[in-house]
Structure 1
Amino acid sequence: MPVFAFTIFLSAFLLFLVQPIIAKQILPWFGGSPAVWNTCMVFFQMLLLAGYAYSDWSIRRLNPRAQAILHCVLLAASLAVLPIVADAAWKPGGDEDPVWRILALLGATIGLPYFLLSSTGPLIQACFARRYGGERVYRLFALSNFGSLLALLAFPFAIELLIDTRTQALTWSIAFVLFALLCAASVILAARPVAAIAARAEFAEPLAEGPAPGVAAYALWLALAALGTIMLLAVTNHITQNIASIPLLWLVPLTLYLLTFILCFEGRGWYRRWLFVIPFLALLPAMAWGLQANSGVLEIKKAVPLYCIGLFVACMFCHGELALAKPAPRYLTRFYLMISLGGALGGLFVGVAAPRIFSAYYELPLALVVGGLLATLLMFRQGTAGGAFADRVAAIAARIPGAVSPVALSRSVMVVLSLCATAATGWYVYLYQHEYLADTTLLMERNFFGMLRVQENGEGSERVRNLVHGVIMHGKQSFDPEYQRKPTTYYTEGSGVGRLFTAFSKEPLRAGVIGLGAGTLAVYGGKGDVVRFYEINPQVIEVARKEFTYLPDSAAKIETVLGDARLAMEREPAQQYDILAVDAFSSDAIPVHLITLQAMDAYLKHLKPGGVIAFHVTNRYLDLKPVVRLLADARGLKALNIADDGESRFGSSTDWVLVTRRPEIFTMEAFAGATEEIEIPAGLATWTDDFNNLFQVLK
């Protein structure tokens, strides 16, 4: 048994670990566009599903010996693609659609190993059932999720801190060789004649005890798995986009999701319907009410725990019901295939379909209502059955003449409660939608980069328009004639970038800006100047042009480049910028590939000898100033921070780090008394494409 258990644990650990390792390798090559992330997500989800389908097919169609031979051949073939280091020949050479190149790269680099890792869980569990039989086989599913959970936590808090990306890939490859040996041993052990005899005995018994699952069972497995995945992704989107833009906060929902699988499929079975269904029904309308948290209905310190607890209970319900509905061991591969398919469909719905069909994050409200309906259906069919206490009550009631069946009474009560909870949830969802369509919201759009809202408050000269992405302000404009053409928020005259533009105002200026927002920095452009914006989100460009007047009102020539800024700058000829403003680090999901040594080299290529790079490092949770200082030191540059308290009207507290080859620039009058040195904490290393970690710079 230990060889089966360790094989499953190691496969799950490596399966979860390989995704960030590969993603970090190719991100600098392809940029941060949604095509990159969505292509990676679709590749891994489809290959996971293919692995589960292969396991189901081989268990049902092949005898143990043929299955062992086939799997060992595949394992041997997978070793030929090691190590999983992406070949530089796959780097894109132009502006072509990256989707097919990414799919080919992933297939050549990790395709077969990932496919075999995906197939291991159900395949080895089936092998275990052949040799040992019994319900213990489902405990291995809990062990698999424990391996995934360990990998999830180990990567950001240990692995990423200790070794660079290339070493991670090499170490992973060595571990995969160990996995291949263990997996081969497992299937060979299961194919031995004594195991084959045991297989016939064990698999015959479940056929008598548990009939083949029907269409209703498949539909239930699919629905529960899909709902759990949708809840995970929808809650993660909500708390990171609408409540708190905190780095690594996404780890909490995913940890809870995996933990519920462990608890529900661990041998003792922690899930009891009567224990979790009531909290689940109570939390559905509570979470629907809390959807308005970003409007001030619920404080952040209460909203985040509410949704984390709600997600835990919802996933306990979904995965607990899956555990209760699991089939006899003979059908476990089909069971896991349906779980995988449900998870893939849920992931594709939230990650691919929802950004295309919704203008806001409506998948969470939808999931809450569907959860209530699914609970109602289960209560109608089964009530709160399942528990020693309920069995004892039923036995006592059976002896009382004329007594109403407690099972029937329980079912009726729970159906009514479920319907009431669903109705309340639907009502709060309606109020949530009404809140999003309030009078202050002029525009609301969503795509793969998130949701943009344009809000307007006040009237006449007090009218102010804001551009909001998630919970982060990305631009503000006053319609008071005195302030309409003046910079606001992070870009006022007292900010680091404002002082920089003031210092260069007496000569024709050529400026580059990474991150458009509302286009506020265009106000500094004068006649004869050129301001070139790099923006990855096409909706931001459209909104800046139509809803704000900074771009059309600017006296400078305005240019916009759509796409990932680093890729664009690596491909285009030197632009000879006097100023390059890098303004992309205000949220939790900062584009790390824009703040590495290789990125700095790309910026310097476009900078005049006397030019200045301005990094906007204002962030509530990350201290990026030392990171920029180390990048500057590595290239012999001078870096100073300029902090602004934002006390001016429409101003915001900001930090800008200015980097230049010529330190004498900081003696100019515009910087008098404003600059400060940057201290480097002990242990912080220079960020490169191969080595960087947000955990090191958390405040």
Structure 2
Amino acid sequence: MLLYACTIFLSAFLLFQIQPMIAKVILPWFGGSAAVWTTCMLFFQVVLLAGYLYAHLLIRRVETRRQWMLHALLLAAAVAMLPVHPDESWKPVGDENPTLRILGLLASTIGLPYFMLSTTGPLVQAWYARSHPGSVPYRLFALSNLASMLALLSYPVLIEPRLAIGMQTGTWSAVFGTFAALCAVTGYRSLRATAAARESEAEQVVRPTGAPKLLWVLLAACPSMLLLSVTQYLTQDIAPMPFLWIAPLSLYLLTFILCFDAAGWYRRNWFLAALGPAVAMMLYLIWAKADYTAPMVWEIVLLCAGFFVCGMVCHGELARLKPHPSHLTGYYLMISIGGAVGGVAVGIGAPYLLNANYELPISLALCALLAGLMVLRAGGLSRRWAAPAATAAVALAVFAGVVMRDSVRNSLHLARNFYGSLRVREVGVPGEWEAARALRHGLIEHGAQYTHPQRRRMLTNYYCGNCGIGMAMASMAAERPRKVGVIGLGVGTMAAYGRPGDEFRFYEINPLILDVAQEYFTFLKDSGSKVQVEIGDGRLLLEREEPQRFDALAVDAFSGDSVPVHLLTKEAMQLYFRHLKPEGVLGLHITNRYLNLIPVVERAAWAMDKDILVVKTEDDEEGVCYHNTWALLSRKGGFAAWKAGKTAQRPAAAPWFRLWTDDYSNLYSALM
């Protein structure tokens, strides 16, 4: 038992260590978008499905000794692919489909090692059941989920803060070699099982029919959809912290652990009774958010608690339907199919079929209807509750529809793609003095413009004249043309600084942003300067361009409060200064509700021997300009020192704060 347990534990641990690790490596290549993680999750679920299918076919169709030989050969091939580190040739170079690019990158980099890890759970459990007739191997499934959760929690707390990326991938590759050897030994030990024991046991077992298999798929698909949609909602609409995906994924794994460890954890009547209020509470939080925002911590706690109840119901019912161990590979195959269906629905289907974030209400409605179906199928005392349960399920589904309708009211335009969902809303009565349009990504406003002809060139939000970048623009000589670079287009507000003869060059990764800025806002059209917009990741585009000799370069490419770390590393800032004139100014917009990014840029300025001036601006009384923080960097004795009254000093190197580089960054160190 110990050998099988160690093999499964190590495989599951490696499986969930590589997920955040590889996502962290490729995140900068695709603009730091939250969709990178969703696409990675889709890849992981599809490869998991392939691994479970392989295990099922291997056990059912291949003779015992050949099973071991084939698996050992594939393990050796996976070891030959090490170490796992993506080739830079996979970096996007144009307008390629980022989803397909990421999937291809992952397949070529970690495809076979991840596939072999995915096969281990069902395959080793089948080997154990064959070697120990009469045993129940399902607790090994709970053990694998425990290992997965430990890996998930240990990465941001222990691994990421202490090891650079190269060391992380190297260590993971070395441990994978140990796993491959252990798995081969486990398979060899299982060869002692006799075919007679397997046949005599199989004769006494009823083969699962189509209806239970369909329920296995549905009960696995629903929590998978909820996992991704809750994660997306948390990281885009509440607290866009890049590491917040850990909470729902940990709860998802915890429900698997509890439901498959022992039957007593899932009290069916209790959790079914709690499901209705949990779903209603989550729908209400979404519905009420347009008019009232609950305290962030409470909203996160309530959503996670509701998700936990939904996960316990789905996985609890799934555990109640588990078949005899002789059919466990088919059972796990159906579970993986459900997980992949949920991942494809949210990761691919939703961005291309829906124009707003409707996944969470849809997933909650499906969960309520599925729970109602399980009550209808139940016998005994639960049957008394069939009609009320069915009525409640339908009512919750209708409520979900109302939530979806109301969540986008007052919208002038809705659009969505890989980089997120955009909403243009009309504020006030068109034609009146206060009328305006605003662009939102989740709950974060990315720019606004007054529509009255006399006010539409007015600077708004984070770009007003008294803010950091406004000070930098005002410092430039009025008698000569200026060349300004801007990473992050928004609605084009920076173009309002343009004068005849000036040149403004924008870098924007999301083509939908450009469409919205041109169709619903007029900053680009009204600017007196020459305006160019390049589509692509700003850093990657600058890496390929000749020095632009900007007078100023403004970096404001954050999605909500989510931080594209690759734009704040020492190497990134060295690149920015390569494109600036000797007297040029670098402006970094570092406003954030959850992270203190000032030490990040101060540490980089110290490492590069640059002056830095941090400018904080508060909300104005008219509501035109918002609270914002800009960090302005210049050469020694340049703009930053002059603006500070020649008192700006080289920032003291904080010994407790480690310099962010392309090989190391740690968002936990920047938490407020």
Q: Provide, for residues 615-655 of structure 1, a one-character-per-residue CA deviation record: whole Å limited to 9, x for no partner.
A: 00000101111111222222222222111123253111111
- Greater mean deviation of Cα atoms: 334-343 or 374-383: 374-383
Amino acid at match of 2:13: F
Is residue 305 of structure 1 aligned with residue 301 of structure 2?
A: yes
Is residue 608 of structure 1 aligned with residue 576 of structure 2?
A: no
1:505 positional shift: 5.0
Q: Provide, for residues 50-95 of structure 1, a one-character-per-residue CA deviation record: whole Å limited to 9, x for no partner.
A: 1111100111112222111111122222221222233456556666
1:104 positional shift: 5.3
Amino acid at match of 2:333: L
Aligned twin of 1:542: 515
How far apart, CA to CA, are the structure 2 residues paired with 1:249 and 1:67?
Answer: 41
How far apart, CA to CA, are the structure 1 residues paired with 2:665 and 2:181?
Answer: 33
Q: Provide, for residues 267-313 of structure 1, a one-character-per-residue CA deviation record: whole Å limited to 9, x for no partner.
A: 35411221211101222223222222321345144432221111000
Aligned twin of 2:267: 272
Q: Check conservation: 2:33, 2:559, Cα contact below 8 A.
A: no
Is residue 47 of structure 1 aligned with residue 47 of structure 2?
A: yes
Aligned twin of 1:24: 24
Q: 1:550 to 1:94 in 2, by over 3 A?
A: closer
1:31 positional shift: 4.5
Amino acid at match of 1:415: A
Aligned twin of 2:221: 226
Is residue 325 of structure 1 aligned with residue 299 of structure 2?
A: no
- Greater mean deviation of Cα atoms: 178-187 or 262-271: 262-271
Aligned twin of 1:425: 396
How far apart, CA to CA, are the structure 1 residues paired with 2:507 and 2:150?
Answer: 39
Q: 1:678 to 1:441 in 2, by over 3 A?
A: farther
Q: 1:588 to 1:479 in 2, by over 3 A?
A: closer
Note the residue ranges of structure 2 that are not aligned, 5 or more in a row: none
Question: What is the total number of aligned residue pairs between the two structures?
Answer: 667
Q: The residue matched to 1:468 in structure 2 has which SS?
A: strand
Amino acid at match of 1:582: V
1:263 positional shift: 0.3
Q: The residue matched to 1:163 in structure 2 has which SS?
A: coil
Q: The residue matched to 1:486 in structure 2 has which SS?
A: coil
1:496 positional shift: 0.3
Is residue 291 of structure 1 aligned with residue 286 of structure 2?
A: yes
- Greater mean deviation of Cα atoms: 127-136 or 618-627: 127-136
How far apart, CA to CA, are the structure 2 residues paired with 1:421 and 1:646?
Answer: 46
Which residues of 2 match residues 516-665 of structure 1 at below 5 A? 516-585=489-558, 587-647=560-620, 649=622, 650-665=624-639
Amino acid at match of 1:630: R
- Greater mean deviation of Cα atoms: 473-482 or 540-549: 473-482
Q: The residue matched to 1:544 in structure 2 has which SS?
A: helix
Which residues of 2 match residues 3-22 of structure 1 at below 5 A? 3-22=3-22
How far apart, CA to CA, are the structure 1 residues paired with 2:404 and 2:649?
Answer: 46
Give the percent of matched residue pairs that are identical in Structure 1 and Structure 2: 47
Amino acid at match of 2:573: M
How far apart, CA to CA, are the structure 2 residues paired with 1:666 and 1:34?
Answer: 33
1:610 positional shift: 1.0
Q: 1:230 to 1:171 in 2, by over 3 A?
A: same
How far apart, CA to CA, are the structure 2 residues paired with 1:624 and 1:94?
Answer: 30
Q: Check conservation: 1:610, 1:662, Cα contact below 8 A.
A: no
Q: Check conservation: 1:160, 1:693, Cα contact below 8 A.
A: yes
Amino acid at match of 1:218: K
1:523 positional shift: 0.7
Q: 1:64 to 1:542 in 2, by over 3 A?
A: same
- Greater mean deviation of Cα atoms: 1-10 or 677-686: 677-686
The match for 2:467 among 487, 490, 495 is 495
Q: Check conservation: 1:243, 1:294, Cα contact below 8 A.
A: no
Q: The residue matched to 2:630 in structure 1 has which SS?
A: strand
How far apart, CA to CA, are the structure 2 residues paired with 1:435 and 1:615?
Answer: 36
Please report the RMSD computed on the Cα atoms of aligned residues, expressed in angstroms. 2.4
Which residues of 2 match residues 433-472 of structure 1 at below 5 A? 433-438=404-409, 440-459=410-429, 460-472=432-444
TM-score for both structures, normalised by structure 1: 0.90
Amino acid at match of 1:441: S
Which residues of 2 match residues 83-102 of structure 1 at below 5 A? 83-88=83-88
How far apart, CA to CA, are the structure 1 residues paired with 2:35 and 2:386?
Answer: 44
Q: Provide, for residues 577-634 of structure 1, a one-character-per-residue CA deviation record: whole Å limited to 9, x for no partner.
A: 1110000236343111111122123212211111111000000101111111222222
Q: Check conservation: 1:641, 1:675, Cα contact below 8 A.
A: no
Q: Check conservation: 1:136, 1:267, Cα contact below 8 A.
A: no
1:513 positional shift: 0.7
How far apart, CA to CA, are the structure 1 residues paired with 2:649 and 2:589?
Answer: 15
How far apart, CA to CA, are the structure 2 residues paired with 1:240 and 1:163?
Answer: 25
Q: 1:646 to 1:61 in 2, by over 3 A?
A: same
Aligned twin of 1:159: 159
How far apart, CA to CA, are the structure 2 residues paired with 1:297 and 1:420?
Answer: 29
How far apart, CA to CA, are the structure 2 residues paired with 1:220 and 1:510?
Answer: 62
Amino acid at match of 1:154: S
Q: The residue matched to 1:462 in structure 2 has which SS?
A: coil
